[in-house]
Structure 1
Amino acid sequence: MSEKTQREFDLVVYGAASFVGRLLTRYLCETYGVDKDLKWALAGRNDAKLKAVAEEFGAQDLPRIIADAQDGPALRDMAGKTKVVVTTVGPYALYGSELVAACVEQGTDYCDLTGEPQWMQRMIDAHQDGAERSGARIVHNCGFDSIPSDLGVWFTQQQAQADFGSHCEQIKMRVKAAKGGASGGTVASLLNVVDEIKKDPALRKVMQNPYAVAPQGMRSGVRQPNVQGPTFDKDANAWLGPFVMAGINTRVVHRSHALLGRPWGEGFLYDEAMMVGRGPGGALRATAVAGGLGGFMVLAALKPTRALLNKTVLPQPGEGPSPQAQEAGFYDLRFFGRTPSGETLQTKVTGDRDPGYGSTAKMLGESAVCLARDIGEKPGGFWTPSTAMGDVLIERLNARAGLSFERVS
């Protein structure tokens, strides 16, 4: 295991030929160049595809590394050459475990896009001690799952401390507006979670536990709010429907709180939902959103209807929104905070591209560069975006990645 300062690369993009991998490669080429200060390489299992990606973005001089997701020796060799591995190869429960193990063994920092809490819990439990020993900083959830939520809560708490000298005992995130599409990779990850629960029903308890990815010994707490049906929120002055990403984002926020030592109180509450309108029309839309999400999960769990969905509706791995759709996408997330003494505030996080892909690629790229350059002596272990990078990542995202973190009221 070599010292990080002596390694050949600052970062390696693993899965550069995947849908998001290509977006990430383009972003790094446009933002940091090929033959400049940032030393980086492309990696994956197919050299021809990597070469095609490099040629597409005028990056023929980028080194290429071949390593299959199940080839432990090749992954360890790759990890030993770089300070950071940033990976887009999912579903991570199927293709990510060997790479995490390799990075932990080599003391290599790591970030990904996963939204799979059951896999995260397995990785934390298997490798936390090893990461502490080797110095590897492992940071899951560095895309739309869950940077806007995790850093949005961090930012809101910072604002509360500055203005009121107190933390918020409750924060509610509400999706005010968003426009974007789904990729085959995201759908594959969701369907794999369904499959894992069918094989091991005990996983259902993991998926339902808001503290599931907190450190061992901190996986319980007060009952958390959870919008699953039509709900009217007075703070947002809108009807709410369930938000599909809440299942991962809320768990990441509670892991961050636990890693910080729970400074916002043992009774801290956090939930997420979508604002769908006011009046009778809003109530109807909230009902439709709740019914549609629940219906999809039922259909995805049944073999005949899943096959039909795959054939007629769902995007396949490697597919995703068009460049035009990515450019036209955006999101506006609102955070409503309340302190123990009743002071309230509202903040917002916005992004300028399709949330899951155009914006995610930029967030992932800045997370990888931040790990390589900005967090100094942070010890090894499994961190979250806010606890690993916090304000310095917010600065990067504001400056380069089209995000904004703002106080509203």
Structure 2
Amino acid sequence: MSTLQKTDILVLGATGFVGRLVVKFLNAHRERSTFTFTISARSKDKLETLSKELDLNAQVQVLLLDLEDIPSLEKAIKRSKVVINTVGPFWLHGTPVVRLCAQNGIHYVDITGEPVWIRKMIDKYDFLAHKTGAIILPSCGYDSIPSDLSVYLSVKSLKQKLGQDTQIGKSISVHQHRGGISFGTFSSVFSHFNDVTPKDRIAAMNPDYLSPTSRTARIPPRLVYSLPLPNSNRSIYGGIYIMGLTNQLNVYRTRGLYQICPSMKSTQYGLKFTYEEFYATSGRIRAFLLSSVLTIMALWLHKYAFARKLFKSLVVDRARGPQPEEMESGFLKLTNITESIPSNRQAKAKAKSVVRIQGDPGYLCTAECAIALLNPTTLTPLAQEGGLLTPVSALGDVLIQRLQDTGKFTFESDVISDS
């Protein structure tokens, strides 16, 4: 474990649950010969164990690094092109990493699902990242790439069919998946209620909380959601999705970033765009029960300290994350229906997009985002300017292609009729 030499990708928290998966994926990546990467963590023993378990060769640098050691952290970041941060909760540990990347023009990705922390990072470091050219991409995991991509694909299909000036209206996505919930998800939920002020939690309910535009109509949450499937008598029913707020806010930020970028007119959703999503259940009753339980839990966590302590001891501290066999057998199907706004020249149309993923998608998304940032000239005009963006607004079609190339993702999108 010597002094860090120059490296393409620096993985922070490499010995944690997600960090190990990211390292394993990078080490076996189809383009492995085109980039170098370094693993880092606080424990020498855990780093050595990880290196042996994954049979990492000598070209993979191993760095003993504590995120609280700011001088050492800055030195490591300066010698990297892209930083992958898997150390959460990000409200507690992520700010110095974002600050140093923004200051030094180093690209950054993470797996956060903490919207209030993202808002703080936008306020503090978006302008600085613009000046240095750093591309800062929070939420490069299951939260919120599949949701954001499903909308992006539907909007793209509508505009290709109807024209670039087409304005987008209502959009709704439904999650259907099998697999365990990671420790990081529970940790993010706990941090949102324990570390964030009540004022900030309430502010985050505004759909434009992360967006540079502020014209979105509020859609109140429902206990029972439904998505009528076009060309069918069937509807999908469901309830509140535990990470739905984070996903919704990131989708709206993508919309807002497109809206203020003149060179991305072909991807602009318009100011009447609205988005919501839910988790599929087997019927209305289960949807009602799911939403009721999550609503009551959120209210108690918001109001009572003892409820937060109980949640931490019974849920967060006992969370083990999905086991390897659960991850391999897991899947996600995300269905999105997006409508255009009718005009004098064009009737309302709908696009349906389906994102299918085999296995756990989070670490794949994170790693592919990082590798994409090694070639910034291939990315969107927004990415060329730097700043704190969303993965979809920065990477666009490049991200879709990279995810397809993993063999784990398939994407479908087309304009449909209701007949």
Per the normalisation by structure 1, the TM-score is 0.89
Match of 2:221 in 1: 227
TM-superposed CA distance for 1:312, in Å, is: 4.1
Is 1:386 equivalent to 2:392 in the alignment? Answer: yes
Change (3 A) 1:244 1:401: farther
Question: Can you list the C-alpha shifts for 1:345-374, whole angstroms capped at 9, x where unaligned?
Answer: 211111111xxxx31011111111011125
Alignment size in residue pairs: 387
Matched-pair contact (CA < 8 Å) for 2:91–2:195: no
Question: Distance in 2 between the 1:123 and 1:38 partners?
Answer: 28
Match of 1:132 in 2: 130
Match of 1:214 in 2: 211
Match of 1:74 in 2: 72
The code of the aligned residue for 1:57 comes to L
TM-superposed CA distance for 1:226, in Å, is: 4.1
Match of 1:330 in 2: 331
Match of 1:173 in 2: 173
Is 1:190 equivalent to 2:189 in the alignment? Answer: yes
Question: Distance in 2 between the 1:248 and 1:129 partners?
Answer: 23
Match of 2:121 in 1: 123
Question: Distance in 2 between the 1:297 and 1:139 partners?
Answer: 27
What secondary structure does 2:195 align onto? helix
Match of 1:38 in 2: 35
Question: Can you list the C-alpha shifts for 1:122-159, whole angstroms capped at 9, x where unaligned?
Answer: 01110112111111100111111111111221111111
- Aligned pair partner of 1:55 in 43, 52, 55: 52
Which residues of structure 1 form unaligned runs of 5+? 1-6
Change (3 A) 1:93 1:311: closer
Question: Distance in 2 between the 1:323 and 1:14 partners?
Answer: 22
Match of 1:339 in 2: 340
What secondary structure does 2:259 align onto? coil
Question: Distance in 2 between the 1:276 and 1:167 partners?
Answer: 31
Matched-pair contact (CA < 8 Å) for 1:222–1:267: yes
The code of the aligned residue for 1:196 comes to D
Question: Can you list the C-alpha shifts for 1:58-81, whole angstroms capped at 9, x where unaligned?
Answer: 004211123222222112111111
Question: Can you list the C-alpha shifts for 1:322-343, whole angstroms capped at 9, x where unaligned?
Answer: 1001111111011101111211
Question: Can you list the C-alpha shifts for 1:282-326, whole angstroms capped at 9, x where unaligned?
Answer: 121111111121233245454444444444444547x31110011
Report sequence identity in percent. 28
The code of the aligned residue for 2:201 comes to R
TM-superposed CA distance for 1:183, in Å, is: 2.2
Change (3 A) 1:386 1:33: closer
Match of 1:3 in 2: none
Match of 1:397 in 2: 403
Question: Distance in 1 between the 2:105 and 2:287 partners?
Answer: 47
Is 1:365 equivalent to 2:367 in the alignment? Answer: yes
The code of the aligned residue for 1:55 comes to K
1:136-175 to structure 2, matched below 5 A, reads 136-165=134-163, 166-175=166-175
TM-superposed CA distance for 1:30, in Å, is: 1.5
Per the normalisation by structure 2, the TM-score is 0.87
Change (3 A) 1:226 1:69: farther
Question: Can you list the C-alpha shifts for 1:229-256, whole angstroms capped at 9, x where unaligned?
Answer: 1234435713231111211111111111
Question: Can you list the C-alpha shifts for 1:255-301, whole angstroms capped at 9, x where unaligned?
Answer: 11111126322111111112324xxxx12111111112123324545
Question: Can you list the C-alpha shifts for 1:360-407, whole angstroms capped at 9, x where unaligned?
Answer: 011111111011125457122111111110001100001115111102
Matched-pair contact (CA < 8 Å) for 1:117–1:248: yes
Match of 2:289 in 1: 288
Question: Distance in 1 between the 2:315 and 2:244 partners?
Answer: 23
1:261-300 to structure 2, matched below 5 A, reads 261=259, 263-277=268-282, 282-300=283-301
Change (3 A) 1:201 1:307: closer
TM-superposed CA distance for 1:26, in Å, is: 0.8
The code of the aligned residue for 1:191 comes to F
Match of 2:264 in 1: none
TM-superposed CA distance for 1:190, in Å, is: 1.0
Question: Can you list the C-alpha shifts for 1:29-67, whole angstroms capped at 9, x where unaligned?
Answer: 111586x22111101222221221111100042111232
Change (3 A) 1:401 1:388: farther
Question: Distance in 1 between the 2:26 and 2:318 partners?
Answer: 25
Match of 2:107 in 1: 109
Matched-pair contact (CA < 8 Å) for 1:76–1:105: no
What secondary structure does 1:17 align onto? coil
Change (3 A) 1:117 1:308: closer
Matched-pair contact (CA < 8 Å) for 1:15–1:43: yes
